[in-house]
Amino acid sequence: MNEADFHLIADLIREHARARPEQPAIVQDGGESLSYAALDALMDRIAAALQRDDVRPGDAVAVSGMSTPMQGALFLGALRAGAVVAPLAASVTPASFDGMLADAQARLLFVDESAAALAPADVRTIRIDTAELEAWLAPPGAQPEPVSPAPGDAFNIIYSSGTTGTPKGIVQPHGMRWTHVARGARYGYNADSRALLATPLYSNTTLVVFFPVLAFGGTVYLMPRFEAGAYLALAQAKRITHTMLVPVQYQRIMARPDFDAHDLGSYLAKFCTSAPFSAKLKADVLSRWPGALVEFYGMTEGGGTCILDARANPNKLHTVGQPADGHDIRLIDDEGRELTEPGQTGEVVGHSAGMMSGYHGQPAKTREAEWFAPDGKRFIRTGDVGRFDADGFLILSDRKKDMIISGGFNIYPSDLEALLREHPAVADVAVVGVPSDIWGETPVAYVVRRSGHEETTDSALRLWLNERVGKTQRLSELRSIDELPRSAIGKVLKRELRDRHAAESPGAPGA
């Protein structure tokens, strides 16, 4: 497969259902299983029901819940109807959930028990884990009207996390998803592939493997909840060939005393993305876990991707690899000028066939995320700062944007800061990401107290905030500070706060 051979993923599943109807397509650990024939038939019933309910091509439908075969079938069935899917996290606050639904203008919302309490009254909601779904589905054997989305048409909307009710919806077109399929052959995807996925189906991290494996006719095994021991047992029992994990999951797996007792010789490739992946951890995975280790560096927004084949480049584990084939990665300075001298450090921008159409309904935010070369070529700004070494491998040094990546999830400090400022005891605040052995990074707040509210303790203030955010956004610490460090133009110097935290933490020199 290549990018020029664009196909609809839903059509490829139909082909596999005809060629290998009994082959397992999506399997839940300890739960249900869908063969390709069953998946294809269920997709038809879903698509026909959506069309019956006047969901037209380009309309959005939302799905929220645990990673299950049914959730995957709903995603794929909606695509077959030409709908745009908005997979939503169930771990966010009700205000954030409502904001995402409103932004997507979702016609229907599908939820299971884990997300049912978040469903608003003004959006038609269907429970996918009760008899309500069967009653909604079109009859067995129903055939939807065929649709043929173009590569530039919207495939899905992936939302950033948020607590302010104004999340950004990243619109990814069919062509962008196809680029993920097209590169699959180089990683050994075929009808015998068995991929184990232990991250949520609302995460782009998961979907960059989920869809290609199905497009090639392989089998996807889903773990609704990750646990390192259960992962290893399932990987051995099912002779898994491929996986996508975030660094904290690799860390927990490699730390198990019984890791070396498991037979993982079936693995062909292991992937990682979404968070900083230390060279030390990469080296440990390489030495003890069979198969290739491939790190993808990029954004949900798309643009440029760098790929590190760790096994082929053991001396480059401190990098995130080289630009993928056909991907144009450049560096720019603070004024938006391209940096061309060797060794220069600047913001990373990228162009490729896999790029978001934009942020849904937010043209101004879309423009902020774009950089155009003098010849008009469009690039996506990453907000990351880095440099290329002499061999063309990208070394990241910092994030220009202050986004925190904790356990593979994006946390935006400005969201937490805005919420903390609503508390009467808070005069000023800055949230920074600090290293965490468990999560990779974790958010810490530095708060300037308002006069007259000294009785509110740091722990009480942290509890107040954590009760109002999604569980992936909770502060690990909150510390009072007399004054936030600022530059001459008033910008908070978050690097100084991170350095201060490191110096004051247990084990630091002089701490």
Domain covering 328-401, topology? Luciferase; domain 3 (2.30.38)
Mean pLDDT, residues 43-56 taken together = 98
β 33-35/84-88 pair status: unpaired
The answer on pLDDT for 415 being more than 90 is no
For residue 482, the tally of other CB atoms under 10 A from its CB is 6
Helix/strand/coil for 156: strand
State the pLDDT at residue 508. 53
- Model confidence at 405: pLDDT above 80: yes
The pLDDT > 90 percentage for the chain reads: 78
What stretch of H or E contains 510? none
From the centroid of its chain, how far is CA 349? 19
Amino acid of residue 61: V
Residue type, 492: V
Given a cut of 50, whether residue 137 has pLDDT beyond it is: yes
Computed over every residue of the chain, the mean pLDDT equals 92
Taking the C-alpha atoms of residue 331 and residue 496, their distance in angstroms, rounded to an integer, is: 25
Q: What type of residue is 80?
A: R
Q: What are the backbone dihedrals phi and psi of residue 449, each rounded to the nearest 5 degrees, phi first?
A: -80, 145
**For residue 488, what pLDDT band results from cuts at 50, 70 and 90?**
very low
- Banded pLDDT at 2 (limits 50, 70, 90): low
Angle, CA 352 vertex, CA 351 and CA 358 arms, to 5°: 70
Q: What is the pTM of this model?
A: 0.82
Over residues 269-291, the mean pLDDT reads: 92
Could you identify the residue written with the tokens 């469009």?
A: 378
Region of 341 on the Ramachandran plot (φ > 0 left; ψ -120 to 50 alpha; else beta): beta
Spatial contact of 435 and 441, defined as CB atoms under 8 Å apart: yes
Distance of alpha carbon 202 from its chain centroid, rounded?
A: 7
C-alpha gyration radius of the chain: 23
Helix (H) or strand (E) holding 65: none
**What pLDDT score does 400 carry?**
66
pLDDT of residue 1: 52
Contact 242, 271 (CB under 8 A): yes
3-class DSSP state for residue 241?
coil
Q: How far apart are CA 164 and CA 110, in angstroms?
A: 23
For 320-340, the DSSP string reads --EEPTT-EEEEE-TTSPEE-
Q: Say if residue 29's pLDDT is above 90.
A: no
Q: Which residue has the higher pLDDT, 248 or 215?
A: 215
Percent of the chain with pLDDT over 70: 95
Q: What is the pLDDT of residue 30?
A: 83
For the cut 80, the answer to whether the pLDDT of residue 217 exceeds it is: yes
Averaged pLDDT, 280-293? 96
Dihedral sign, Cα of residue 101, residue 221, residue 146, residue 354 = positive
DSSP summary character for residue 492? B
pLDDT over threshold 90, residue 398: no
Distance (Å, rounded) from C-alpha 330 to C-alpha 348? 6
Conformation bin of residue 80: beta by default, left when phi > 0, alpha when psi is -120 to 50: alpha
| Single-letter residue type at 338 | E
In this prediction, residue 364 carries a pLDDT of 94
- What distance in Å separates the CA atoms of residue 381 and residue 351, rounded to the nearest whole number? 9
CA angle 198/240/155 to nearest 5° reads 50
Angle at 214 between CA 212 and CA 219, to 5 degrees: 120
Task: Classify domain 404-504 by CATH number.
Answer: 3.30.300.30
Cα–Cα distance between 267 and 350 in angstroms, integer?
A: 31
Is the pLDDT confidence value at 507 over 70?
no
The mean pLDDT of 363-388, rounded to a whole number, is 94
Top-confidence residue, 247 or 88: 88
For residues 195 and 223, give the distance between their C-alpha atoms in angstroms, rounded to a whole number: 11
pLDDT surpassing 90 at residue 95: no
Under the banding of pLDDT at 50, 70 and 90, the label for residue 510 is very low
Distance set, CA 99 to CA 103, 165, 166 (Å): 6, 5, 6
pLDDT confidence bin for 491, thresholds 50/70/90: low
| Stretch (H or E) spanning 443 | strand 440-449
- Better pLDDT: 13 or 485: 13
SS3 state at 122: coil
Strand partners, 243: 196, 270
Q: What is the DSSP string of 332-386?
A: E-TTSPEE-STT--EEEEEE-S-B--EETT-HHHHHHTEEE-TT--EEEEEEEEE
pLDDT for residue 489: 46
Q: How many helices (H) and strands (E) does the chain have?
A: 14, 27
pLDDT of residue 164: 39
pLDDT tens per residue across span 50-60: 999 999 999 99
Contact 211, 1 (CB under 8 A): no
Task: Examine the pLDDT at 319 and tell me if it is beyond 70.
Answer: yes
pLDDT, position 91: 83
Boundaries of every domain in the chain: 328-401, 404-504
Q: Model confidence at 444, in pLDDT bands (50, 70, 90)? A: very high
Concatenating the DSSP letter of every residue in 192-239 gives T-EEEE-S-TTSHHHHHHHHHHHHTT-EEEE-SS--HHHHHHHHHHTT
Greatest mean pLDDT among 124-128, 333-337, 426-430: 124-128
Whether pLDDT at 436 is above 80: yes
